[in-house]
Amino acid sequence: MSESLAMLLQHGYRYALSLAHHTAKAEDLLQDAWVAVIQAGGPHEKGYLFCAIRTRFYNQHKRELLAPMEPLAPIHESILETGDGLNTVLHGIEDPRLETALAQLRGIEREVLFLNAVEGYTAQEITTITGQARGTVLSMLSRTRNKIQRHFIASTNRAVQHD
């Protein structure tokens, strides 16, 4: 297996995860996008793959808003119940507070944060990828970070009170 190909797919998976915040959905997103890239004979590049993933995520998201779908079979994975009832399926979580904080974010917020904090894209580059205005991207980054911090503080306070 090519090392660069494996790296590319891992990058794609993490990006899909930032959007969907659900491992199975992220895998499906990546697979759909990957098949599309291959069938189109597109370049094996991160930007191209991200674009394919993003398009599929938002198309799927629109469909789900129009016609909510129930899974045919139960998902046999560990499900973490969040405080406000959000279900997320994630592997290897060390700090459940971070996972809960991420689960409470909107997809676009997680995406923007992921692209900046994990992939190292600048605000201008994120603007190109997401189609959001540069000012919106900057304020969204700031607000998202604050949300996570507030969530951490609130969780810590609740834990202290509980003790």
Partner 1 sequence: MTDHYSTDELIKDYYHKQNLSADKLQQMTEIAQLKNQQTKPAAINWKQRWLAQRNISIAASLLLAAIISLQWIIATPTQQQLVASIAQEIAINHQKQFGSDFKAASYIGLRNAMKKLDFKLVDPDRLKARGLQILGGRYCSLHGQIAAQVRLKNDTGAIFTLYQTSSHDSFNTLTEHSQRANGVEIEMWNEGGVFLGIAG
Which member of 90, 103, 112, 137 binds partner 1 (CB under 8 A)?
Answer: 90
d(CA 92, CA 32): 24
CB of 109 to partner 1, least distance (A): 11
CB 129 within 8 A of CB 121: yes
d(CA 12, CA 17): 8
Displacement of CA 96 from its chain's centroid (Å) = 16
Of 66-74, 79-87, 111-119, 132-140, the segment contacting partner 1 by CB under 8 A is 111-119
d(CA 102, CA 121): 19
Which member of 9, 80, 89, 108 binds partner 1 (CB under 8 A)?
Answer: 9
Report in angstroms the alpha-carbon separations of 150 from 57, 68, 94, 106, 142.
28, 31, 19, 16, 12
Q: Does 121 bind partner 1 (CB under 8 A)?
A: no
Which member of 65, 92, 161, 162 binds partner 1 (CB under 8 A)?
Answer: 92
Q: Is 87 helix (H, G, I), strand (E, B) or coil?
A: strand
Which member of 51, 60, 89, 152 binds partner 1 (CB under 8 A)?
Answer: 152
- Rule CB under 8 A: which residues touch partner 1? 1-2, 5-6, 9-10, 13-14, 17-18, 23, 27, 30-31, 34-35, 38-39, 44, 90-95, 98-99, 102, 113-114, 116-118, 145, 148-149, 152
